Amino acid sequence: MAKKDYAKIANDIIKNCGGESNIANVSHCMTRLRVQLRDNSKLNEDEAKKIPGVMNLIVQNGEYQYVIGQDVPNVYEEVTKHEGIKAGGSVEDAEALKQDSAVKGKWVEATLSFIGGTLSPVIPVLVAGGLTGAVLTLLTTFAGVTSDSGTYQVIYAINQATFFFLPVFVGFSAANRLKSNGYLGAFLACILLYSGINGVAGLDFFGIPIQAIGYNANIFPIILGVLFMSVVYRFFQRTLPVAMRTIFVPLFTMLITVPVTLIVLGPIGNTVGTVLADAIYAVYNAFPAISVAFMGAFTCWFVFFGMNNALYPVCFALLAAVGSDPLVCAGMAPANVAVGGACLAVALIAKKAEEKQVAAGAGITALCGITEPGVYGVLFVKRYPLIGAMIGGGLGGFIGGLLGMTQYVISTPGFISFAAYITPAEMGGGSYNFMVSMAVMVLATAIAFVATYLLGKKAEA
């Protein structure tokens, strides 16, 4: 496969977006370049999808997401070399904000876009920190590392800090997503996690009682707090004289936001998380095989519509409630590798050399858990591998649900995250879940491969 010209891809994207002056903000997640424009009418969606190196263009809540693949950081680097383009931070642009407001009536789309866009930048932290828990299990089981050793304590700190300080990462990301101040969003999370606040009983604010809540690893309170904070922040940004903003905008914002979050929004967010986890776990307990089969069959559709990252709050809620995720990640694992199996089947039967190369690369990537290249470049292009992947993912999920497959840490579901399926010692240890998970993923891959091959031989004839 020819080496990609990332500078040319970046220049084509900028040109298609109406030039540097029309790009209000640019960021990226694991596979997508996310662009906000000042004037959306200057972008031609059909032409954008034809840019070599761009697999698809997804539009969500006023944001344009160019699907690039795992090498998206290379394109992002080239885009941000242009001095006129703002990278990552907040957008204080009247026209961009005006256009955003035009889509706020689409509540479902806006909510999913906000949650997905907030959590997507945090995923590398979750993967790195989450898998260290499994690394500890491997070290203590096979390498003789003891829990009182310095090695154990350092790696344990990486794992624990990830989830204890998760609200800080989410607060920063959510505030940036809302075009507020990311550092104030992180600051709000730090206040909630402060030892004198987090889980402390008997507090009050001017006589108003404050409910004792554990804010670590709970993302709903910080999301609600940042939503409110962004409103307060923007109000003072608009109303205070320019000379006073540097000092008084952050001061007034936090003096108002913190008490409201502690007294009202924190308890609401805590209740939402608890109810969500209880409700979803109840559905799973009632119909385990069907629930996981649904996730296995339709994850590729969630990815296609950009809804997959919006499911992470469910994962966090389940982890907090039961210590693992037997539904979302457990269903995504067979779904992701099934995409890999389907793509590899296409690589085998495709007649054009370029199609073989694209499908083979996408298949290997999907087996590792990253499915966007396969979904956009193969499944929804040829359609028959989509059916094969859904069959493999659905049947794999059904079997996984029957056998109680689960995932103990948040990481990209797939073979590369094998350690996430090892049962931690504090949860009983043993190899049952690991063996079941590997068997389910192998089976899902094989079923998807065979189904796609049989469908493809007829379609490609």
pLDDT: which is higher, 346 or 163: 346
What is the total count of domains within the chain?
3
Assess whether 181 and 63 both reside in one domain: no
Assess whether 302 and 445 both reside in one domain: yes
Assess whether 275 and 321 both reside in one domain: no
Q: Is residue 124 part of a domain?
A: no
343, 388 Cβ separation under 8 angstroms: no
pLDDT: which is higher, 93 or 428: 428
Mean pLDDT of the 424-446 span: 92
pLDDT in tens, 57-89: 888 767 888 988 878 889 999 998 887 776 654
Assess whether 276 and 298 both reside in one domain: no
Whole-number CA gyration radius for the chain: 23
Assess whether 299 and 270 both reside in one domain: no
Q: Is residue 120 part of a domain?
A: no
Predicted pLDDT at 119 = 85
Residue 101 has pLDDT above 60, yes or no: no
pLDDT: which is higher, 423 or 264: 264
pLDDT in tens, 237-276: 999 999 999 999 999 999 999 999 999 999 999 999 889 8
Distance between CA atoms of residues 177 and 63, nearest Å: 11
Share of the chain above pLDDT 70, in %: 93
Distance between CA atoms of residues 334 and 88, nearest Å: 33
SS (H, E, C) the chain: CCCCCHHHHHHHHHHHCCCHHHEEEEEECCCEEEEEECCHHHCCHHHHCCCCCCCEEEEECCEEEEECCCCHHHHHHHHCCCCCCCECCCCCCHHHHHHHHCCCCCHHHHHHHHHHHHHHHHHHHHHHHHHHHHHHHHHHHHCCCCCCCHHHHHHHHHHHHHHHCHHHHHHHHHHHHCCCCHHHHHHHHHHHHCCCCCCCCCCEECCEECCCCCCCCCHHHHHHHHHHHHHHHHHHHHHCCHHHHHHHHHHHHHHHHHHHHHHHHHHHHHHHHHHHHHHHHHHHHHCHHHHHHHHHHHHHHHHHCCCHHHHHHHHHHHHHHHCCECCHHHHHHHHHHHHHHHHHHHHHHCCCHHHHHHHHHHHHHHHCCCCHHHHHHHHHHHCHHHHHHHHHHHHHHHHHHHHCCCECCCCCCCHHHHHHHCCCHHHCCCCHHHHHHHHHHHHHHHHHHHHHHHHHHHHCC
Banded model confidence at residue 96, pLDDT cuts 50, 70, 90: very low
Mean pLDDT of the 89-108 span: 47
Assess whether 305 and 399 both reside in one domain: yes
Q: Which of 20-34, 90-104, 198-212, 397-411 is the least confident region?
A: 90-104
Assess whether 369 and 247 both reside in one domain: no
pLDDT in tens, 10-62: 999 999 998 888 888 888 877 888 888 888 888 888 888 889 888 888 887 67
The pTM of this model reads 0.77
281, 352 Cβ separation under 8 angstroms: no
Predicted pLDDT at 109 = 67
Residue 104 has pLDDT above 60, yes or no: no
Of the residues 283, 310, 332, the one at which a domain ends: 283
Distance between CA atoms of residues 427 and 131, nearest Å: 16
Assess whether 311 and 405 both reside in one domain: yes
Of the residues 258, 283, 308, the one at which a domain ends: 283
What is the rounded average pLDDT for all residues in the chain? Answer: 88
Assess whether 324 and 260 both reside in one domain: no
Share of the chain above pLDDT 90, in %: 52
Assess whether 248 and 378 both reside in one domain: no
Of the residues 267, 283, 299, the one at which a domain ends: 283
Banded model confidence at residue 295, pLDDT cuts 50, 70, 90: very high
Predicted pLDDT at 433 = 95
Assess whether 269 and 335 both reside in one domain: no
Residue 217 has pLDDT above 50, yes or no: yes
pLDDT: which is higher, 11 or 460: 11
Domain of residue 61, residue span:
6-92
Predicted pLDDT at 86 = 65
Assess whether 279 and 362 both reside in one domain: no
Predicted pLDDT at 91 = 40
Highest mean predicted confidence (pLDDT) among 186-195, 357-366, 403-412, 421-430: 186-195
Residue 355 has pLDDT above 70, yes or no: yes
Predicted pLDDT at 108 = 64
Residue 425 has pLDDT above 60, yes or no: yes
Predicted pLDDT at 412 = 84
